[in-house]
Amino acid sequence: MSWLQILFYLVVLVVLAKPLGGFMARIYEGEMPACARWLAPLERAIYRFCGLRADQEQGWKSYAGAMLAFNLLGLLAVYALQRLQGFLPLNPAHMAAVSPDSSFNTAVSFATNTNWQGYGGETTMSHLTQMLGLSVQNFVSAASGMAVLVALARGFTRKSSSTIGSFWVDLVRSTVYILLPLSIVLALVLVSQGVVQNFAAPVVAHTLQGAEQSISMGPAASQIAIKQLGTNGGGFFNVNSAHPLENPTAFSNLLEMLSILLISAGLCFTFGRLVKDKRQGLALLASMLIVLAPCIVMVQLFEQAGTHAQQLAGVELSAAADQPGGNMEGKELRLGIANSAIWSVATTAASNGSVNAMHDSFTPLGGLWPMWLIQLGEVIFGGVGSGLYGLLLFAIVAVFVAGLMVGRTPEYLGKKIGAFEMQWASFAILAPCVAVLFGTAVAVLLDAGRAGVANPGAHGFSEILYAFSSAGNNNGSAFAGLSANTPFFNIALGFAMLVGRYLVMLPVLAIAGALAAKKLVPAGPGTLPTHGLLFVLLLVSTVLLVGALTFIPALALGPIVEQLQMLH
């Protein structure tokens, strides 16, 4: 059954992603499909309100400037909302102002599409902060990522052009035509499954033991829809989608799992259509699936196999009708191992970070895959837009080495890859690695960093490494166990998130600008084909090799040694 569920999930994902990808391509090319035309007045109204012109193109510097300014504005707004929430309406639980460092962390986290949460949502944020701050950022940070991807795609298709589109138009279209309608539909379906959506104060319940329990309420469904679709991952409730009011049924679980990867998968098809060669998009999607599917299988295998201690104790670990078997610590009994395995891999492959099980409680080798997927740089599906442009950076590097190997100046999609592109692609691949390794090193050196560790030994190291991997690659999922809501972690992780987001986005836009200005080289027999299996394998190897070579020493001191210790 587990394997069937996994296969079913992957098939449904691809089947849904294809039409969505085609739809998105048409949106970005400016030819509105009939089903989206009713939203056009909204788009026009936004342009009128902001005094924008839809046909005004930008060069890469101007595009990047607009993107940065807009993101900075969002960051400041979220910071202000948290600091001032005590004086603002829609605060039935009378939440006080959030601390400066936590506000900084959260503001950065939501602006960078990381959605790392150092705080407990229902016990920290007012409804206004959640809706006006976090939910809005969930939309626009996702839309920013999609915009940058589309700009890069234009870099590949345009010939001797000085512009790469308009950030404002890409941002508005991503939000109005794609994210908004999809999340409204998803939110309504989730409400039908029992996810709460209200503005009520907490409900007080009396348990059978007579204890008093306060059950938080709020506009959860709307935020969950976009947190999944926009690869945000910041849950409404602290335990995220393990909470029954956030993820009540098996169907809601399936929908939420699909929506984690839906747009990222769809964007592969979009890219193929934008560069006028659908096979290129398929090759990128295939590269992602080749890494994703085995990871799900590995987590499923290791979690079902249980821990060494369980095996020694002779516990029955196989799944049966009346028991899930395997390692169920930290997993929801309603959902079981397969659904936790798919979710954990999908959420870390995409830079989503929402969880329906606690990765900290996975077996060491089960938990290794989610962490490793994050460390691969969030390019296997990755964040909406950001995942694909990240993978394209790797494609540039792969094409460069491969191009040399066939004796030709390397080119990708008809654009010659020169020193400028290599410089910025290397820089963008390097930046998150620096954030992760340097951040972890600082944390284990300082008392402030070591103090947050809950578990002794190698596991404690894994917790810190995971936190910085998650922040530096804008994932946002947590390994749990680490007390990260301290000034040190809030600030250090905040900077890691900034590096991991903008020091990738800016090089990508620079590359887009440089590519757009180049001529298009027609393909010939001497051109390396970039749509076949060979290239897919080469691209995957490049991603894996860079990821592995960078993080093997650190991983060896964390999860690998942990697993070995458990065996001894």
**In the set 10, 350, 397, 516, which binds other proteins (CB under 8 A)?**
397
If the CB atoms of residues 201 and 537 are measured against other proteins, the closer one turns out to be 537
Query: Binding other proteins by CB under 8 A: which of 108, 268, 335, 546?
Result: 546
Distance CA 102, CA 458 (A): 27
Contacts of 131 (CB under 8 A, 6+ apart): 90, 219, 222, 223
Structural tokens at position 310: 């369980």
Residue 149 touching other proteins (CB under 8 A)? no
Kindly state the smallest distance separating residue 325's Cβ from other proteins, in Å.
27
Rounded to a whole number of angstroms, the minimum distance from the CB of residue 410 to other proteins is 8
Give helix 457-472 / helix 419-445 axis angle, nearest 10°: 140
Nearer to other proteins, 297 or 442 (CB): 442
Least CB distance to other proteins at residue 491 (A): 19
Q: Which two tokens stand for residue 380?
A: 């296997």
Among 51, 89, 314, 524, which residue interacts with other proteins (rule: CB under 8 A)? Answer: 524
Query: Residues 183-196, buried b or exposed e (16+ Cβ, 10 A)?
Result: beebbeebbebebb
554 binds other proteins (CB under 8 A): yes
Q: How far apart are CA 150 and CA 135, in angstroms?
A: 23
x-or-dash string of contact with other proteins, 341-380, rule CB under 8 A: ----------------------------------------
CB of 526 to other proteins, least distance (A): 3
CA dihedral 480, 482, 485, 489 (to 10 degrees): -120
* Number of chain positions touching other proteins (CB under 8 A): 69
Q: Could you say whether residue 556 binds other proteins (CB under 8 A)?
A: yes
Which range of residues in 50-58, 195-203, 307-315, 550-558 is near other proteins by CB under 8 A? 550-558
What does the per-residue mask of binding to other proteins show for 246-285, with x meaning CB under 8 A? ----------------------------------------
Instruction: Quote the CA–CA distance of 30 and 150 in Å, as a whole number.
Output: 12
Provide the token pair at 449.
């960093």
> Is the CB of 179 or the CB of 555 nearer to other proteins?
555
Interface with other proteins (CB under 8 A), residue from 427, 448, 480, 491: 427
Shortest Cβ 417–other proteins spacing (Å): 7
Contact between 408 and other proteins per CB under 8 A:
yes
Q: For the CB of residue 205, give the shortest distance to other proteins in the complex, in Å.
A: 41
Q: Is the dihedral of CA 463, 467, 472, 475 positive or negative?
A: positive
**By CB under 8 A, is residue 461 in contact with other proteins?**
yes
Among 27, 373, 402, 515, binds other proteins (CB under 8 A): 402
> Coil, helix or strand for 56?
coil
Under rule CB under 8 A, residue 438 binds other proteins: yes
Least separation in angstroms between CB 401 and other proteins: 6
Residues of this chain, 290-319, that bind other proteins according to CB under 8 A:
none
Instruction: Read off the amino acid at residue 467.
Output: A
Candidate segments 110-118, 212-220, 313-321, 419-427, binder of other proteins by CB under 8 A: 419-427
CB 236 within 8 A of CB 247: no
Smallest gap from residue 278 Cβ to other proteins (A): 19
The closest of 425, 149, 102 to 266, measured between CA atoms, is 149
**Least distance from other proteins to the Cβ atom of residue 392, Å:** 16
| 509: contact with other proteins by CB under 8 A | no
| Residues 6 or more apart whose Cβ sits within 8 Å of residue 314 | none
| Residues 487-500: b if buried by 16+ CB within 10 A, e if exposed | ebbbbbbbbbbbbb
x-or-dash string of contact with other proteins, 440-459, rule CB under 8 A = xxx-xx----x-----xxx-
DSSP for residue 556? I
Q: Give the nearer residue to other proteins in terms of CB position, either 21 or 410.
A: 410
Of the residues 73, 96, 406, 451, which one makes contact with other proteins according to CB under 8 A: 406
Q: What angle do CA 355, 356, 362 make, to 5 degrees?
A: 85
Q: What is the DSSP string of 437-474?
A: HHHHHHHHHSHHHHTT--S-HHHHHHHHHHHHHHHHTT
Report the distance separating Cα 72 and Cα 486, nearest Å.
Answer: 23
Nearer to other proteins, 224 or 515 (CB): 515
b/e per residue 63-86 (b: at least 16 CB within 10 A): bbebbbebbeebbebbbebbbebe
Stretch that binds other proteins, among 230-238, 350-358, 434-442, 498-506 (CB under 8 A): 434-442
Binding of residue 73 to other proteins (CB under 8 A): no
- Candidates 90, 180, 434, 491; binder of other proteins (CB under 8 A) is 434
Q: How far apart are alpha carbons 302 and 411 in whole angstroms? A: 41
Q: Which of 184, 405, 451, 454 binds other proteins (CB under 8 A)?
A: 405
Helices (H) and strands (E) in the chain, counts: 22, 4
534: helix, coil or strand?
Answer: helix
Tokens standing for residue 248: 């009540």
CB of 129 to other proteins, least distance (A): 36
Give the shortest CB-291-to-other proteins separation in angstroms. 17
Q: Does 95 bind other proteins (CB under 8 A)?
A: no
Structural contact between residues 554 and 418, judged by C-beta atoms closer than 8 angstroms: no
The tokens for 197 are 């959506």
Looking at 364, 460, 476, 494, which residue binds other proteins (CB under 8 A)?
A: 460
Q: Which stretch binds other proteins (CB under 8 A): 292-300, 316-324, 502-510, 530-538?
A: 530-538
Residue 272 or 439 with smaller CB distance to other proteins: 439
Packing angle, helices 60-84 and 136-157, rounded to 10? 170
**Residues within the interface to other proteins (CB under 8 A):** 397, 400-410, 414, 417-419, 421-423, 426-427, 429-430, 433-434, 437-438, 440-442, 444-445, 450, 456-458, 460-461, 519-522, 524-529, 532, 534, 538, 541, 545-546, 548-554, 556-557, 560-561, 564-565, 567-568
